[in-house]
Amino acid sequence: MNNILDLIFDIGLYHYLFLALILFLIGLFGTIISKNILKVLISVEFMLTAVNINFIAFASFFDNIKLHGFVFSLFYIAIGAVETAIALAIFYLMFQAKQSVNTEDYEEGVDERC
């Protein structure tokens, strides 16, 4: 019983990995079920954030000298920003073609105007 309480209340690497897993699954879930394109993009950002938590947790617990995970996390944040900018630009062009934010309206693709 005491061990279980320690496992719950004594914060270790396990807790951060568990949090990242839950956030990643929520992001994956949102990506699958959302019909709004913007909401799909937000869910993808959740998945990127979960991966960042893993990077920083592992670096903080195992790599106190070089901190490679911190550096990679910053690279990953830059990738996330770039991905969002490109995705929103493409979304705007698609929106001008079909005037809709619903993903199901794009199942047949967009016409030649885009």
Partner 1 sequence: MEIDILKTLIFYGFAGAIILFALLSIFAFRILYSLLAAVCVFFATAGIYFILGADYNAVVQIAIYGIAIPILFVMAIMFTSDKLDKKIYITFKPRFFFSFLGLGVLFLSLIYLIAISLSLNSNSAWILQKQTLFINKYQMFNALSEGFFVNYVLAFELFSLLLLIVVVGISTLNLIKEVKSDE
From residue 76, give the alpha-carbon distance in Å to each of 37, 44, 58, 66, 97.
22, 13, 15, 17, 32
Question: Which of 26/106 has CB closer to partner 1?
Answer: 26
Question: Which of 49/106 has CB closer to partner 1?
Answer: 49
106 counts as binding partner 1 under rule CB under 8 A: no
| Interface with partner 1 in residues 36-95 (CB under 8 A) | 36, 38-39, 41-43, 45-46, 49, 52-53, 56-57, 59-62, 64-68, 70-71, 73-75, 77-82, 84-86, 88-93, 95
8 Å CB contact between 41 and 32: no
Q: Whose CA is closest to 55, among 6, 10, 93, 20?
A: 20
